[in-house]
Homo-oligomer: A and B are copies of this chain.
Amino acid sequence: MGKKCIGVDVGGTSVKIGLFEVSGELLHKWEVKTRKEEGGRYILDDTADSILKRLEELGISIEEITGVGLGIPGPVLPNGYVEVCVNLGWRDCYPERELSKRLHGLPVKSANDANVAALGEMWQGGGKGYHDIVMVTLGTGVGGGVIIDQKIVAGRHGLAGEIGHIHIREDETETCNCGGVGCVEQVASATGIAREARRQMASKDMPSVLRSFGDKVTAKDVLDGAKAGDPLAMEVMEVVGHYLGMALAQVSMTTDPEVFVLGGGVSKAGQFLIDAIDENYKKFTPISKNKGKIVLATLGNDAGIYGAAKLILN
């Protein structure tokens, strides 16, 4: 087995690539543009060319590489089959086989990118040292990944870790992107938090720093306002904390992880956000004092390349 491995995180804008020691040290990282033309047919060519070129520049032979992990923005079946990957234009393909072919038969293992990011955070990020984690990524949407015994739980239909689409809010009336109503994503994503702020501004009379932003209010405005003690922003964050805390409690009663790792743009609010969630999480899990704690992700946008690299080592 080689001493190094490669993690590839295919995104809609760029393909991120990392060269790692198998011990977890990131040696080099770089990106190539995602060429989505013609059903994304050039993406794996570009990726393989870039990897081979970089290895040559670094004087590293392909024999030194254990293998390549591949994070894909869509569902991946256990045999590596991808039925459809909307963001890349891929349909009906086996990306791991195709990338392997272009890399002289190096082993390639693929998985869904949100799950891969969770694996990365477990390996070298906020969940380092733990074997059972659940990652919740609070970005434009809400993604997630469940890791048990250091392995991704993909689910039999690729739905495991879809924390953003846990139905949670009974009084919601608008429809979520998934077609459901009352999903976690609708209240705890950046867009969800902004929407909740607009609702509260419209339904309440109290003055607030948020009003100066009007309909352009962002999740960051809300979090900054709440930290500064703005009452309306605090009420918005109470709603967010209530539902996120409830969702984490539900996950705890299902798989009981060691830690929840919060990532994504919203998690930049740091300990303030953790406190808002934790209070509610505790309220909904009185069954035991011993339960998962909530920590922050630390790898940012690199979680995907770390997790992909770990994927091939598992």
A interface residues with partner B (beta carbon < 8 Å): 132, 134, 146, 148, 153-163, 165-168, 170, 178-180, 246, 249-258, 284-288, 290-292
Cα A146 to Cα B255 with chains together (Å): 8
Cα A286 to Cα B286 with chains together (Å): 31
State whether A250 touches B256 (Cβ < 8 A): no
Residues of chain B lying within 8 A (CB to CB) of residue A246: 167
Cα A238 to Cα B158 with chains together (Å): 29
* Interface pairs (24), CB distance under 8 Å: A146-B255, A155-B256, A156-B258, A157-B288, A157-B292, A158-B256, A159-B253, A159-B285, A159-B290, A159-B291, A160-B254, A160-B256, A161-B254, A162-B253, A162-B256, A163-B254, A165-B287, A166-B250, A166-B253, A167-B246, A167-B249, A167-B250, A178-B287, A180-B285
Which of B180, B249, B250 touches A286 (beta carbons < 8 Å)? B180
The answer to whether A253 and B157 touch (CB under 8 A), given A179-B286, A179-B287, is: no
State whether A254 touches B179 (Cβ < 8 A): no
Which of B134, B148, B285 touches A148 (beta carbons < 8 Å)? B148
State whether A254 touches B251 (Cβ < 8 A): yes
Cα A165 to Cα B291 with chains together (Å): 14
A157, A254, A291, most chain B CB atoms within 10 A: A254
State whether B254 touches A157 (Cβ < 8 A): no
Residues of chain B lying within 8 A (CB to CB) of residue A249: 166-167
How many copies altogether? Answer: 2
Cα A284 to Cα B179 with chains together (Å): 9
Q: How far does the Cβ of A33 sit from chain B's closest Cβ, in whole Å?
A: 30
Contacts A159-B253, A162-B254, A166-B250 known; 12 new A-B pairs at CB < 8 A: A155-B252, A155-B257, A156-B257, A156-B258, A158-B290, A159-B287, A159-B290, A167-B250, A167-B284, A170-B170, A180-B284, A254-B254
Q: How far does the Cβ of A86 sit from chain B's closest Cβ, in whole Å?
A: 14
Residues of chain B lying within 8 A (CB to CB) of residue A291: 157, 159
Q: Smallest CB-CB separation from A154: which chain B residue? A: B256
Cα A79 to Cα B85 with chains together (Å): 43
State whether B167 touches A256 (Cβ < 8 A): no
State whether A288 touches B256 (Cβ < 8 A): no
Residues of chain B lying within 8 A (CB to CB) of residue A258: 156
Cα A162 to Cα B290 with chains together (Å): 14
Cα A288 to Cα B177 with chains together (Å): 12
State whether B255 touches A255 (Cβ < 8 A): yes
Cα A153 to Cα B148 with chains together (Å): 8
A146, A166, A250, A257, most chain B CB atoms within 10 A: A250
Q: Smallest CB-CB separation from A158: which chain B residue? A: B256
State whether A255 touches B287 (Cβ < 8 A): no
The answer to whether A292 and B165 touch (CB under 8 A), given A178-B286, A254-B146, is: no
Cα A178 to Cα B157 with chains together (Å): 32
Residues of chain B lying within 8 A (CB to CB) of residue A153: 148, 255-256
Q: How far does the Cβ of A8 sit from chain B's closest Cβ, in whole Å?
A: 25
